[in-house]
Amino acid sequence: MKTPTRRLLIVLLLSWSLGPLLWQLYTSFSTNEALITPFANIDHRWTLNHYKDVLTGNPPFWRYLINSLIVGAGSTILTLCIATPAAYAITRSRGTITKVVQTMLIVAALFPYVLLFLALLEVARSLHLGNHLLALTIPYAALSQPLAILLLSAAFRDLPIDLEDAARLEGLGLWSRLRWVLIPLIAPATASTAILVFLFAWNEYPIALTWLSDSSLLTLPVAMARIAGSSIYSVPYGAYAAATVLGSIPLIALVLIFQKSIVSGLTSGAVKG
Amino acid sequence: MSLKLNNLGRRIDDRWILRHLDLEIQNGECLALVGASGCGKSTTLRIIAGLDQADEGSISIDGIDVTSTAAVDRKVGMVFQSYALFPHLSVAANLELGLKVRGVAPSERQQRVRQILQLVQLEERASQKPAQLSGGQRQRVALARALLRDPMVYLLDEPMSNLDAQLREELRPELRRLVLRDQKPVVYVTHDQHEAMAIADRIAVLRDGQIEQVANPIELYKHPASLYVAEFIGRPQINVLPPEQGVIKAIRPEALKLQAGGIACELLHREWLGASQIWQLKSHLGPLRMLVGSDQTVPESIQVSWAPEQEHRFNARSGKRLAA
């Protein structure tokens, strides 16, 4: 492909994915007048009021951010703690049972979880898990298991078997092998899995909506829905955009932090000369 | 004090990929396991290491039965064909990991790693990652790791097959010296008969999971126990004549001599080796390979023969050697 064509394509792709984001950014800093009459000549076009409103609301917006961070981090940790050993076991064991388990995992990964949500609500009610922030990590981690196990077991399978054999001959028991050799080597896959799980927990709406009712415990999506629906007469575009921007910042930061470990090629040079 | 394999067998489903394997390797002895791919040589090595389980027979090291000992506890030093260095760790950390897990104190660990790096001449590479090393250097790190294990047995699985020919030749004596330094049994797996001849004290030729012959390199070359061994060992390959009354005769290419009144041949191709040359000949007995000095000119008519004592004779059906 010629360079100018490629450049054009890149510009189009970037505007496709970044356009809505920039629009939200623009909206969040615009006064209500500017939003309603975009081409009129207005004195006060820019404002920080939407942010001020959102951050000084009751409860303040950062409360929801922290709630979502707690739920997201908790779900991610819980998911990885269960999925990593499971993925290792699936990769190393053979036989029909393993094949059945793998097939079931794929089916479970494809299953629309919303269909489970009424049943989950019953479970939450009978176990008194309602209005506990960390209780949300239980369904989130459970729902993330299939995908996480599939991704991590693919990573384990990609590791040259010689590496684990070498570790075994060096006298490394199962735990040492995982701790010093295998888990460090699948770090890129773990990072991408972690991001996917975190994103799911960050965005999840129906379960969070039904399990939490205490307004100081809400997660971001629920809180934002409340902002958007706070008045039946008008949609507070500015405040909503400000909330969106604030809600995206942690995600962007997360990807930037993990970017380094997502880069592939960590295992290059392990095998062959 | 030795490594002893007793009637070792390994089965995959109903097929035996290794059967009736008996071998004894003395301390300070290097035994090469050779054979075509799939003959069971790597399987044998993995069974000795404990990475694979035997379905039959037993293994003992220094008289202690280790057949059911887990690989983690077996104390073998293995060099993998792929080297299997941990890619995320530096050279020094690669070497130190085993010591750390086995509970060696930090100060002693560092000292031993330093010593071993000196021995394999890689001190200045200590902090580099395996990916930054050349093939030969990686191989030396892998060897150093095996040496640090203080093993009862050394197992080398095609340790040089990823190196170029010149480097292989250079490293061979070095490898032999290092691995025999602490006088332990060494099992060296290779598909390269030349490498086996060059490095081993004894060679075991495996075929379809069974031992065809075990002998020192000269014996193997001069008195192959079967046609298979005769064809496997020695390059250029031995000439095999068509069977006659249930007997197959085979003659080494260097045993063929130009002689008037011999078998009339036609020269198809000439290959220069440097000090010698190979003539690819066509005769009524089929194609023949002849090794001659590089000064030898091609005569008008080529007639070859050989001394009767240079003939190897094998049973045409079993392939076994017939008494002279």
Q: What is the CATH number of the domain that holds A111?
A: 1.10.3720.10
- CA gap B190, B195 in Å, rounded: 7
- CA gap B165, B322 in Å, rounded: 37
pLDDT in tens, A110-138: 989 888 888 888 988 899 888 888 889 99
Task: Identify whether A41 is part of a domain.
Answer: no
Residue from A169, A177, A178 whose CB has the most chain B CBs within 10 Å, to mutate:
A169
Task: Identify whether A110 is part of a domain.
Answer: yes
Q: Provide the domain count of chain A.
A: 1
Residue B269 pairs with which residues in a beta bridge? Answer: B280
pLDDT in tens, B236-278: 999 999 999 999 999 999 999 999 999 999 999 999 999 999 9
User: For all residues of chain A together, what is the average pLDDT?
Assistant: 87
Residue that is written with structure tokens 């997201």 in the block: A72
Instruction: Specify the 3-state DSSP secondary structure of B58.
Output: strand
Domain span at residue A62 reads: 48-267
- Chain B residues inside the 8 Å CB shell of A160: 82, 84
- CA gap B318, B324 in Å, rounded: 16
Task: Identify whether A31 is part of a domain.
Answer: no
Contact B51 A163 (CB under 8 A): no
Name which of B76, B85, B136 is nearest A270 (Cβ-Cβ). Answer: B85
Q: Quick check: A171 pLDDT over 50?
A: yes
The whole-number pLDDT of residue A269 equals: 36
Alpha-carbon distance values, B105 to A181, B101, B111 (Å): 20, 10, 10
Contact B84 A170 (CB under 8 A): no
Residues 6+ apart with CB under 8 A from B67: B54, B57, B58, B59, B60
- CA gap A24, A47 in Å, rounded: 14
Residues 6+ apart with CB under 8 A from A192: A151, A258, A262
Task: Identify whether A221 is part of a domain.
Answer: yes
Q: Quick check: A234 pLDDT over 80?
A: no
Q: Quick check: A1 pLDDT over 50?
A: yes
HSE toward the beta carbon, residue A117, CA cutoff 13 A: 14
Contact B84 A168 (CB under 8 A): no
Task: Identify whether A179 is part of a domain.
Answer: yes
Task: Identify whether A40 is part of a domain.
Answer: no
- pLDDT-flagged residues of chain B (< 50): none
- Chain B residues inside the 8 Å CB shell of A180: 86, 97, 101
Q: Quick check: A267 pLDDT over 50?
A: no
Contact A270 B82 (CB under 8 A): yes
- Cα distance from A115 to chain B (closest Cα, Å)? 43
Q: Which residue of A has its CA nearest to B157?
A: A162
Task: Identify whether A223 is part of a domain.
Answer: yes
The whole-number pLDDT of residue A36 equals: 79
Task: Identify whether A113 is part of a domain.
Answer: yes
Confidence of residue A272 (pLDDT cuts 50, 70, 90): very low
Q: Report which residue type is found at B116.
A: I
Lookup: tokens for A15: 């505007």
Q: Interface pTM (ipTM) of the complex?
A: 0.91
Q: Which residue of A has its CA nearest to B50?
A: A169
Q: Are B288 and B239 in contact (CB under 8 A)?
A: yes
Alpha-carbon distance values, B294 to B255, B269, B297, B302 (Å): 16, 14, 8, 16
| pTM of the full structure | 0.86
Q: Give the count of beta carbons closer than 10 Å to the beta carbon of residue B12.
A: 10
